[in-house]
Amino acid sequence: MGSQSNAFFAVPQGPHGMLVEADRDERARQDFVRSFKAFIQSDIVPGIHATYHHEVKPLHEQRAGHPPRDRHEIRQLMTQHPLFRNYASLQRVSQELLWDVVLDSIERTLPDLVARARSQGKRMQGSLTLNPKLSLPKYAVGVDIHCMPGGYGGEGGPDDVTAGALYDRGVYLYALGMMGPMNDDIGGSAAKFVRDRFPDFKPRRILDLGCTVGHSTLPFVDAFPQAEVHAIDIGPSLLRYAHARAESLGKRVHFSQQDAAATNFPDGHFDLITSSILFHETSAKALPAILRETWRLLAPGGIAVHGDLPPFWAMDEFNQFMLDCETWYNNEPYWGAMREVDQVALSIKAGFAAENVEFCMAPSAYRAAAGHDRNFEAGEFAPGNAWQVLVTRK
């Protein structure tokens, strides 16, 4: 067992001026939790797949005369199995420990993080505009998405950067480095996709929706150095951190606190609009509103590209079930529902012409470059070796 441990993908997180520093014991805890997650993926997940295919599924076929019909039926069967229960419990425990161990470092060094954010922010290549009067969407602040304590809206005071520091380090541990040292593979793959697909496209203004710490925003700064890049999110702590992080890396981004469903930008203001794993953290009511806002904000000839994990139709029923565990066990209430939504139909309803809406898979740019090309099963990582991109043109 463990011959293809995902731990071998691990690369150190890329340095920047805002990364929370762990002392000796804190680093040992973080390393252990990361190893624990890698162990689950490499040494337990394959056994869970085998349990289904060689035991649960044949037994059901024998009894019922047909294979399980869909991920819901698979779920009913698998949740009875002790091995699956244990696997699901371990995933949950590893996720809870992940945030908990990072919080140790943040609690210990918060004044330093706040001071660093202030001094990085003074460089001001880009900008930061917070709006304390913004009414934060309930779907986003009422849930601690992926079990992150405090959630995206978390705010501990006028200079707080906790949510950003926690998200940045936590996502790195979660992804085991498979999203690259800067956690930026979704944005990076989407930006590369746009450049490859539309080589003559020269956007003047770019907007990233739901940017969190701006990790997926920055590949667009690199891909389109002439463009003015904007990024929005709802969380003030996230945005302070994102701004300081971008400044420390010498990247010019204009961050502002806004709801992606109703921004204050003028009509047709952007040539390129993007989002990375925003959709699966967005409610069924908010998603159509965000697509309508995207339509409004795009200039004629503009392109929108939204990256996320693959939809259910792109994988078999068992992988659907495994991926859907996030919905049930990882505080991701919108995850499963979003993967069933017809994003193409919603885009057309939002105003895009049918011939200008495409649903594509963008290969992982980081893993291709790093020579880590391989198809993942659900439970290991995002299934396959590509991100979904919804491409809509105006």
Partner 1 sequence: MSISIKRSIKGRRPQFFADVETDRLQGMLMAMATEMAVLYERVDTLERVAARKGIVLADDMQGFEPDENVQAEREAWRQKFLARIFYLYREELDDRLGHENDEQYRQFLKDVGR
Q: What's the min distance (Å) between Cβ of 372 and partner 1?
A: 16
Q: Which is nearer to partner 1, 38 or 391 (CB)?
A: 38
Phi and psi, residue 390, nearest 5° = -95, 120
Nearest to 122 by CA among 215, 17, 247: 247
Q: What's the min distance (Å) between Cβ of 208 and partner 1?
A: 26
* Degrees, nearest 5: CA angle 211-108-131: 35
Q: What's the min distance (Å) between Cβ of 257 and partner 1?
A: 21
Q: Which is nearer to partner 1, 47 or 301 (CB)?
A: 47
The whole-angstrom separation of Cα 260 and Cα 304 is 13
Q: Which is nearer to partner 1, 68 or 203 (CB)?
A: 68
- The neighbour count for residue 393, using CB atoms within 10 Å, is 18
Q: What's the min distance (Å) between Cβ of 58 and partner 1?
A: 12
Q: Which is nearer to partner 1, 331 or 356 (CB)?
A: 331
The whole-angstrom separation of Cα 392 and Cα 390 is 7
- Among all chains, which residue has been given the structure tokens 């806002």? 293
Q: What's the min distance (Å) between Cβ of 158 and partner 1?
A: 15
Q: What's the min distance (Å) between Cβ of 332 and partner 1?
A: 11
- Among all chains, which residue has been given the structure tokens 């299934």? 383
Q: Which is nearer to partner 1, 100 or 228 (CB)?
A: 100
* Degrees, nearest 5: CA angle 252-258-261: 120
Task: Write the burial class of residue 320 (CB in 10 Å: 0-12 exposed, 13-18 middle, 19+ buried).
Answer: buried
Q: Which residues bind partner 1 (CB under 8 A)?
A: 1-2, 5, 7, 10, 23-25, 28-29, 31-33, 35-36, 38-39, 43-44, 46-47, 50-51, 54-55, 83, 85-86, 88-90, 92-94, 96-97, 99-101, 103, 106-108, 110-111, 142-144, 147-151, 156, 162, 328-329, 331
Q: Which is nearer to partner 1, 156 or 363 (CB)?
A: 156
- Extract the tokens encoding 157: 């005071």
